[in-house]
Amino acid sequence: MIVRDRDFMREYVKVWDEGAVRDAPFITMGMEALLTDFYGDLMDASPPFPVKEGDNILDLGCGWGRVLKPVLDRGAFGVGFDISENMLKLSEKHLKRNGYYPILLKGDGTALPLKDNSFDMVYSLLVLQHLSKRNGEEVFNEIHRVLKTDGVAYIRLPGRFAPENLIFSFLQFISIYLFRLRDPIRMRFYRIGEIKRICRGLFKETEITAHEFRPPWNFHTKWTWQYIIIPKRFHRGLRKISDRLERIANTRFGFLKHLGVVLMVRVRKD
């Protein structure tokens, strides 16, 4: 990983190691772990992509194994990869409890210790948002390298222009540049055109869909994140509206994709 200094790298890894001890579901899922009336129970949900039995699949940023477990349930051979040793310990415990003994590797996603053309599929869900854009591009390059010919990757990223993300970006700017607060896992948001530029020349196919069309849940600061703005009684109704907007944005009115909180990037290697 390209970093300013060794201290930054230690702080980056420390956030995930300590988060694994305090509350692994929250630090890896955020509001998705708490607002079940909107998101449903995601603790053992189906993967947000198709899984073929027998495929060799890499979970890049596996955390405590939440998505890797249902991938294995579907008969795939999964490899978990994460930068946090504590997260990998939790993943091992979670998967062994369910009868699985997968390969779990510790390392840096910008320099995968894996052979070229190794995997039928790679997925990385909201991991690149915590890396600099330069490191994010390196991860895309590494995903391309380890994918087999005609292999597919699914990469989930936060969209730049969703109202929630615009507020988050502004508050983050204030906290870092005005109050000088260090944040080794600060968020990065992606524009659709930016994603296409990164993927151009690497992959023969790039498809981007948008998800989660909703108002902001809260004000994302270290002091206010736990205060949910929207009363719980509205969450299920908002889910229905979000689902309808997703269908419209991803089928008829593509310009609405720019307002999705989350973008799912599907790419295929030559």
pTM of the model: 0.94
Average pLDDT for 203-208: 98
Q: Which domains does the chain have, with CATH numbers?
A: 6-268 (3.40.50.150)
| Interval 50-59: pLDDT, tens | 999 999 999 9
Task: Please give the single-letter amino acid code of residue 14.
Answer: K
pLDDT range class, residue 23, cuts 50, 70, 90: confident
Q: How many CA atoms lie within 13 A of 95 on its CB side?
A: 27
Alpha-helical (H) ranges within 60-187 are: 68-73, 85-97, 133-146, 163-173
Could you please report the per-residue DSSP string of 25-47?
Answer: HHHHHGGGGT-HHHH---TTPPP
pLDDT in tens, 220-254: 766 777 788 899 999 999 999 999 999 999 999 99
